[in-house]
Structure 1
Amino acid sequence: MTTTKAGALEAEAAPAHPGTDDALARRNAFVMAGAQALGGANPAIVISLGGIVGQSLAENPALATLPVSLLNLGLALGTIPAAMIMRRYGRRAGYVLGASIGVVAGAIASVGIVREAFYLFCLGTFVAGMYGSYVQSYRYAAADTASPAFKARAISWVMAGGLVAGIIGPQVVILTREAIPEAPFAGAFLAQAALALVSILVVSLFRAPARPAASAAALPGSAAAKADTGRPLSVIVRQGRFVVAVIAGLVSYGLMSFLMTATPLAMVGCGLPVETAALGISWHILAMFAPAFFTGRLIDRFGKETITAIGLVLTAIAAAINLSGLTVAHFWGGLVLLGLGWNFGFIGATAMVTDCHRPEERTKVQAANDFLVFGSVAIASFSAGKLLDLGGWETLNWLVFPPIVLALVLVALQARAKRLAAA
């Protein structure tokens, strides 16, 4: 595979000695954790305000969560182009481009609010999703340079950056909601653009591993270049373990988005103030990312499948709490357990995906996984608004249990197959 100019610059900047792999992975994990702290505020702001702004701008109440759905749709549709750009020009160049897209997204969304144009606001959240497609791959960046023993921890370190995002995003909403008096919440999306601008400086510090000389010298169309692409994607995605990993990630993230999107609307619908809903999302995001400091070690000790299963069970408990009452304590308690469930379930599923590919296959496999997962998240978030409008909060929560049971059965079978293979 040829090395482009941008990719070559990244390679020259990184140490090539194999013994430094985990040192580089640790460095990249810290850098990407910082980027995650800034980029993670992007969805936090959209999720906190998307449904509320949508409710005020959309003529049809059923379309209130469309802006949040478009965030997830943009994320899903952006994963493959983002992977292609990073494969050709390197992760660092791709991340700079992604953060630049984030600046544009915040500007468009704020203009949409000022002009009271629902379609323009929706365009802004869709573009914010395109930015999110780069942010979501941050978790893979450190793992790319990590040894097998350090991969799960590298992923969890990066995800821990979201802990700061959980503070930044909702605080931005609270502090800037009235920054433009004639256009409530427009200031929050301008702040979103400013955070993306700062993120450009942070992602510029990322360093990719040095490429082997033979790979760098391979010419397009040569046997070496073809070998670098690995197995066809159609072969990889038919692996049982890949299917289980995708379904586990899909259910973990999809159900989290399903409930999280509807919760602020349900809270406001019960007469609670917007600030209370925003703080609830803040607690939720903190719960999503705080355990990442030790999730990797838990995976190392108990296994990917076990931690993933615990995450799925916690999500089911969150739905049960939501069904038990309509007080602030019920809403916030459900959001916190939902965040914890997402952390264990999604990080565990991500670690399972890294077992399904060879180094040369990682970009396309990671992109395929994210496309499937975030495509389902887009459907889940859009369905949340419609189901909340048609069936109510109780119906919404009862729908959580069947997919969790399915995912738990598949993960249990996968764990059993691994034990039998090891024996």
Structure 2
Amino acid sequence: MDIKTDDLPKAITKNTRFLSTAQALSTVPTQINSLIGSLVVLRLTGSPALAGLVISVTFVGRIVVPYFSGWAMDRKGRRVVLILGGVIISVSYLGLALTEISSQVATLFIFFLLYGVGNAIFSQVRIAMTDMYDASRAGKAIAYLYTSSIFGSLATIPLVALIGLLSQPAGLDPYALLWLSGSLSMLPALLAILLVRPDTSVIARVIGRSGRNETGLSVRVELSRLTAPFAASSVSWGIMVAMMSLLSLDMAGDGFPLFLISTTITIHVAGMYLPSFPFGRITDRYGPKMLMVAGPLVTGVGGLLTPLTANYYVITIGMFLVGVGWCGSTISSTSSIVSVIDASARGRVLGANDVTNNIASMILPFAGGAVIGAYGFLGLGVFALALSLPASLVSFAMSPRKLPTSGKVQHRLGGVPGQDD
């Protein structure tokens, strides 16, 4: 399917709304996993190290899949691949609900792995969103997407409270009900993706930023242009996932109820997404360097602050800062990559970026569990800060101050996106 240039504004507006809706709905299962994933494993095994391992298992699928799903997006279009990811998430959460009831630990890990595969694919919705905006507005495009996640995060608070109220008198397992609600939330998300028309790869091609140029030549992107965004995003992702996944253990150990833990996670998620528009504007106007330097550092400072005391407000402020640092790193690094990678190869390159992000997100929660076992939760905070400093230094030394303005730089990878609609 093709589209006339005159119809672009309407199609972009419509697709932006559908993609943002899908992103908001997909935040519900993500937050549920962060809230109860480690608690479920701790309850079944009694091991904090295995509680951290469950997050690492989730990220195994997210390491293997993103480059290949990005490749499929470049060849077949964005929508069909995103639908596959959403279906896998829904099926995996249904499996987790059934496994929770039967208390089968091995099966539980299998469905965590399957969820990681689906989440890895569906998180590439950012590729579809950046298709519709040029490099000078990439920050704004990601801001639209991430701001919508706030609504999914806010919806999780009353959902947890309601399930807690209804499950006890009915004699039902609240964790199983939460897994089931995560599965159901993906159904309208899938509908929103189905309504994205035309495929955003078609829009990218029409506005002249996709496919090979007329001569068939391409410009080789220097690895140095990708080092800083890969470093900043990977370290921030690793710290954020480690803190978010192990937070429940820390707060539960301090006697906080599940509702307050969920509220802290929601405030953390607000830190991840609320600054999206101002950070997007800063990146689009001044370039990515400022936020790629500050983002990892703020994430590390928040990681150090979180376990300093058992005070609820200090813990919550620390987790909010972890989210804010992640937001700055992610928007600036994505914008930096988009500025030098054409849409025809963007799925593969951003997929490779997802791979490095997910490697860090797999290793650091498991390493964090070991650090907690040896030095306590304060050791985890020191560990987070120590990791953030090198990433900020690399970003300061190697990231460009300003973005290219044309958005026409071609990546050496070949291939024209599919025209499937």
TM-score, scaled relative to structure 1: 0.86
Equivalent in the alignment of 1:16: 4
**Alignment partners' CA distance in 2, 1:227 and 1:187:** 54
Work out whether residues 132 and 203 of structure 2, in 8 Å CA contact, stay in contact via their aligned partners in 1.
no
Work out whether residues 160 and 290 of structure 1, in 8 Å CA contact, stay in contact via their aligned partners in 2.
yes
Equivalent in the alignment of 1:302: 286
Displacement of 1:227: 4.9
After TM superposition, the structure 1 stretch with the greater mean CA deviation from structure 2, 56-65 or 110-119, is 56-65
**Alignment partners' CA distance in 2, 1:200 and 1:250:** 28
Work out whether residues 263 and 331 of structure 1, in 8 Å CA contact, stay in contact via their aligned partners in 2.
no
- Relative CO higher for 1 or 2, CA cutoff 8 Å, sep ≥ 6? 2
Q: Which amino acid aligns with 1:302?
A: Y
Displacement of 1:82: 2.0
Mapped pair 1:99 → 2:89: no
Displacement of 1:268: 0.6
Equivalent in the alignment of 1:376: 360
**Alignment partners' CA distance in 2, 1:44 and 1:56:** 19
Alignment counterpart, residue 198 of structure 1, candidates 171, 181, 188: 188
Displacement of 1:71: 2.3
Work out whether residues 24 and 145 of structure 1, in 8 Å CA contact, stay in contact via their aligned partners in 2.
no
Mapped pair 1:352 → 2:336: yes
Equivalent in the alignment of 2:159: 172
**Alignment partners' CA distance in 2, 1:193 and 1:168:** 15
Gaps of 5+ in 2: 406-421
After TM superposition, the structure 1 stretch with the greater mean CA deviation from structure 2, 239-248 or 115-124, is 115-124
SS at match of 2:386: helix
TM-score, scaled relative to structure 2: 0.86
- Runs of 4+ in structure 1 off by over 6 angstroms are 223-226
**Alignment partners' CA distance in 1, 2:21 and 2:384:** 33
SS at match of 1:390: helix
**Alignment partners' CA distance in 2, 1:226 and 1:273:** 63
Displacement of 1:318: 1.1
Q: Which amino acid aligns with 1:109?
A: L
Alignment counterpart, residue 311 of structure 1, candidates 271, 292, 295: 295
SS at match of 1:150: helix
Displacement of 1:212: 6.0
Work out whether residues 315 and 337 of structure 1, in 8 Å CA contact, stay in contact via their aligned partners in 2.
yes
**Alignment partners' CA distance in 2, 1:115 and 1:47:** 21
Mapped pair 1:150 → 2:137: yes
Displacement of 1:323: 4.9
Mapped pair 1:394 → 2:384: no
Alignment counterpart, residue 42 of structure 1, candidates 29, 39, 46: 29
Work out whether residues 25 and 142 of structure 1, in 8 Å CA contact, stay in contact via their aligned partners in 2.
no
Equivalent in the alignment of 1:160: 147
After TM superposition, the structure 1 stretch with the greater mean CA deviation from structure 2, 185-194 or 332-341, is 332-341
**Alignment partners' CA distance in 1, 2:31 and 2:204:** 36
Work out whether residues 236 and 325 of structure 2, in 8 Å CA contact, stay in contact via their aligned partners in 1.
yes
Q: Alignment identity in percent?
A: 21
Q: Figure out how many residues of one structure are paired with residues of the other and give that number.
A: 396
SS at match of 2:29: helix
Tell me the alpha carbon deviations over residues 266-323 of structure 1, each in whole angstroms, 9 at most, x when there is no partner: 0111122222111111111112111123321121233211022222232233134225
Gaps of 5+ in 1: 1-10
SS at match of 1:40: helix
CA separation of 1:240/1:265 partners in 2, compared to 1, >3 Å: closer, same or farther? same
**Alignment partners' CA distance in 2, 1:376 and 1:226:** 39
Equivalent in the alignment of 2:249: 265
Give 1:116-155 correspondences, 5 Å limit: 116-155=103-142
CA separation of 1:389/1:182 partners in 2, compared to 1, >3 Å: closer, same or farther? farther
Displacement of 1:418: 4.5
Displacement of 1:210: 5.0
Work out whether residues 143 and 277 of structure 2, in 8 Å CA contact, stay in contact via their aligned partners in 1.
yes
SS at match of 1:67: helix
**Alignment partners' CA distance in 1, 2:171 and 2:256:** 22
Equivalent in the alignment of 2:272: 288
Work out whether residues 156 and 296 of structure 1, in 8 Å CA contact, stay in contact via their aligned partners in 2.
yes
Aligned Cα root-mean-square deviation (Å) = 2.8
Work out whether residues 262 and 388 of structure 1, in 8 Å CA contact, stay in contact via their aligned partners in 2.
no
Work out whether residues 322 and 334 of structure 1, in 8 Å CA contact, stay in contact via their aligned partners in 2.
yes
Displacement of 1:182: 4.5
After TM superposition, the structure 1 stretch with the greater mean CA deviation from structure 2, 250-259 or 87-96, is 87-96
Equivalent in the alignment of 2:409: none
Work out whether residues 96 and 112 of structure 2, in 8 Å CA contact, stay in contact via their aligned partners in 1.
yes
Equivalent in the alignment of 1:277: 261
Equivalent in the alignment of 1:188: 178
Q: Which amino acid aligns with 1:274?
A: L
Equivalent in the alignment of 2:306: 322
**Alignment partners' CA distance in 2, 1:60 and 1:363:** 38
Equivalent in the alignment of 2:347: 363
Displacement of 1:211: 7.8
